[in-house]
């Protein structure tokens, strides 16, 4: 039974060292997951920008069709393209600019939100890594303490 008592501190220290290495590995893994999540959010920012450009192009095309219909209706009604017809077209153009500004504004808000989510994911990853380092050091300290108690 004497050898078991002598080996116990070594086994305890070895177990603590293994636990420390595992804590480090877990921290690195959690940080890499958070960094991957951040990359996904950054890709979403790019997708939002691409969608904004597509939405603006579609809107411009729809507006051109609407503008053509208004010109056709004014022309076929016998009225000239002046006075109230021009006011209608100017109003439509102003509303189109407002709509385009709204599309751009909403896209910028969404891009900003996704960028913040990416930053937050990276922060979470750094926190996970720091917590793991702290836990790792705690296990190594336990290993040293176990050996010091037995042989110190």
pTM for the full predicted model? 0.72
Of the pLDDT bands very low, low, confident and very high (cuts 50, 70, 90), residue 121 is very high
Over residues 31-83, the pLDDT tens digits come to: 999 999 999 999 999 999 999 999 999 999 999 999 998 888 888 887 777 78
Cα→Cα distances 136→2, 14, 61, 92, 131, Å: 31, 13, 60, 66, 8
Domain ranges of the chain: 2-151
Cα→Cα distances 131→19, 23, 57, 95, Å: 14, 9, 48, 54
Helix (H, G, I), strand (E, B) or coil at 109: helix
């Amino acid at each position: 039974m004497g050898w078991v008592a002598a080996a116990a501190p070594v086994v305890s220290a070895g177990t603590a060292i293994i636990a420390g290495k595992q804590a480090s590995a877990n921290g690195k893994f959690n940080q890499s997951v958070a960094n991957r999540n951040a990359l996904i959010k950054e890709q979403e920012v790019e997708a939002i920008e691409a969608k904004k450009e597509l939405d603006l192009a579609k809107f411009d095309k729809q507006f051109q069709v609407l503008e053509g219909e208004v010109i056709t209706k004014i022309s076929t009604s016998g009225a000239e393209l002046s006075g109230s017809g021009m006011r209608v077209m100017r109003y439509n153009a102003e509303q189109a600019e407002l709509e385009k500004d709204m599309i751009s504004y909403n896209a910028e808000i969404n891009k900003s939100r996704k960028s913040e989510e990416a930053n937050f994911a990276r922060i979470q990853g750094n926190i996970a890594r720091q917590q793991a380092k702290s836990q790792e050091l705690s296990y190594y300290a336990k290993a040293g303490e176990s050996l010091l108690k037995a042989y110190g």
